[in-house]
Structure 1
Amino acid sequence: MARPAAAGAKAAPVKGAPTKGAPARPGQRPAQQGLVRPAPKAKVRKARLLVSKVDVWSVLKLAFLLSVALGIITVVAAVLLWLVFDVAGVFNQINSLVATVLGSTTGTAFDVKSYLSMGQVTSFAVIIAVVNVVLLSALSMISAFIYNLASGLVGGVSVTLTDD
């Protein structure tokens, strides 16, 4: 049980409370100072660069990797599109439409899946992807070579980079 302080006696300071004249602990607001000033804005740094030459070999490598990724996307999209058409019954509707137009009621009906099977669609998509890889790689390499020739004449492209 705590004893009451005698009249006229000084009270003991509370542990952790700042004493007079001592600086406030971090995280506490000073009692007599005004509002905190906002931090000054940092200066924006700018760098002006001139792209005067592009390495043809690095452009070829990057274009090859990106075109391979595009080729993989092409093959996967073709397979998924074929599966969606098959599940949705598009091939069966085309078969019935062709049978109606031709007036064929005999047993030899037209079958779209025999012409557009999954294997044929996939192989066609792979062929398209390989051709795209070769063409995009070659075109990007030729474009880098032409850029190097043109930048030798006009000086290149000026780029300004800023630090926000």
Structure 2
Amino acid sequence: MKKFASQNSKNLLVQAALLAGLASSALFVQGCASPSNRITRTQSGYPEITINSVDVRAIRSNLVARNAAGGWTIETETENMLLMTRVSNPLETSSVIAQAMLGNSRSTTPKAEARYIITLSKNQTLVVVQPSISTQMAGGQINRMDLKDNNDVFNNFQNQLARVKTEIEAN
């Protein structure tokens, strides 16, 4: 009787695991079938915002502080551009997928990039974010993929810019 009960328990566990697998597969397929919509349309097609301030230093400082809190670092900075990067965790699924799409087993861990273009116009500042992901191949070649069409990435950066605008204009 114990052997029968033990076998039933194993069968129930297998069935539960199969149901859980089917449910997560269904959610994955649904997620792929119905991508999120963009929260707004922009002239450039990239996340962008116009801030009613000409204090570029304050805007840049706000962007750096926000990104640094999320593990991003400054790679390049000029008067009109700020390039922030973050190396992906090689164990994350998105990192594995990015490495498979852009590189191979000998390429570097994919790096997320956010290029902020900062332009003064009249009494305002336009900030445009150009997100991408890149990896360096063993021979030194850089493979880069623009994330302009990724709605989730677009929405995250657009929300970030909206928070920056609110804070800068409040001061």
Q: Which has the higher helix share?
A: 1
Higher RCO, Cα 8 Å, sep 6+: 1
Q: TM-score of the superposition, structure 2-length normalised?
A: 0.23
Q: TM-score of the superposition, structure 1-length normalised?
A: 0.23
Q: Which has the higher strand share?
A: 2
Which one has a bigger Cα radius of gyration?
1
